[in-house]
Structure 1
Amino acid sequence: MTPTEATLTSAAVSAVISIIVNAVGILVQARRSARERADKLHDQLRGLVALLDRGLFYAGFDREDPVEMLWAITDVRTKLQLNGAAYVRDDITAKAFSEIRDALYNMEMQIDGEFPEVARLARTKGAERVDRTQTQQQLGPTYGAAISRMMGLRTTVWSATQRIHARLKSLSA
């Protein structure tokens, strides 16, 4: 091998090594970026799931009040919408949050149609605590019926929340 050929071969080897080093650096950066995106999504989902950790979704019948329940349904739906829950960068969780949001909205509309007094009181009282005895007297037999109707929402929310938790678990792995 002549000195010129050795120089060319050495230059070629150096060029190949440089390309490999650059490619490895790009791959490492891409992997780091993917992990950072996954971590960001995980944190976003945990924050959105925290919005669902309310008595509305698990308290017993005797601990519920229809006015407070309807107010909480509206509050959770609004917060999910404002935080873009249905538009997270993950199809599985976006669909689950959309189901929850739609179920909450549909329940609001059902209560507004079937129990207009409950809807009126929820709009009037807002987030302030209500006197359950007074509300029971005002609503009469519709008090318990409205609670039962809204408790029916829990199955849909629970099912969607389980899918979100499963996705969170897979993102943590």
Structure 2
Amino acid sequence: MQRVAAALQAQGHPHMPQMLDDAARTAQQAADALGILVGQVAKSIIFRRKSDDVAVLVVTSGDRRVDEKKVEAHVGKVGRADAEFVKARTGFSIGGVSPLAHATPPVTLIDRDLLRFDVVWAAAGHPHSVFPLHPNDLTRLTGAPVVDVVQEPAPPAAA
């Protein structure tokens, strides 16, 4: 969390990480703790790029599922990253992966669905810590492009 706070401060971000009373390891837990929509949680998903073993970070809305084929169209073939890989590459444990301040800089993609919100909340390096930001701040803070990398939402059920 200190690494994330230092990175935010160095880039002039106005909001520092906050500690929550309860863990926010999932988007739903974070949304419940913050009293926000689950889509306002900027969840960080790590993949392992097969060609060079580099971490690929996808930041998306908590109410969306990442489409691996869309990710691969941007970065090449990817596979699932286990907890050991995530910790070694990012310096964070699953459930607390921040979109910035990684131990080794990942290839990062930001899903455009986040832009539907004025404020989103991201993990700050610990399962109990988060920080608020505007979705466009993710691009500024990470240098990552905004792309479409999620599955299409299911249509509403007929009444």
Instruction: Give the TM-score normalised by the residue count of structure 2.
Output: 0.26
User: Which one has the bigger strand percentage?
Assistant: 2
Where relative contact order (Cα < 8 A, 6+ residues apart) is larger, the structure is: 1
Max Rg structure: 1
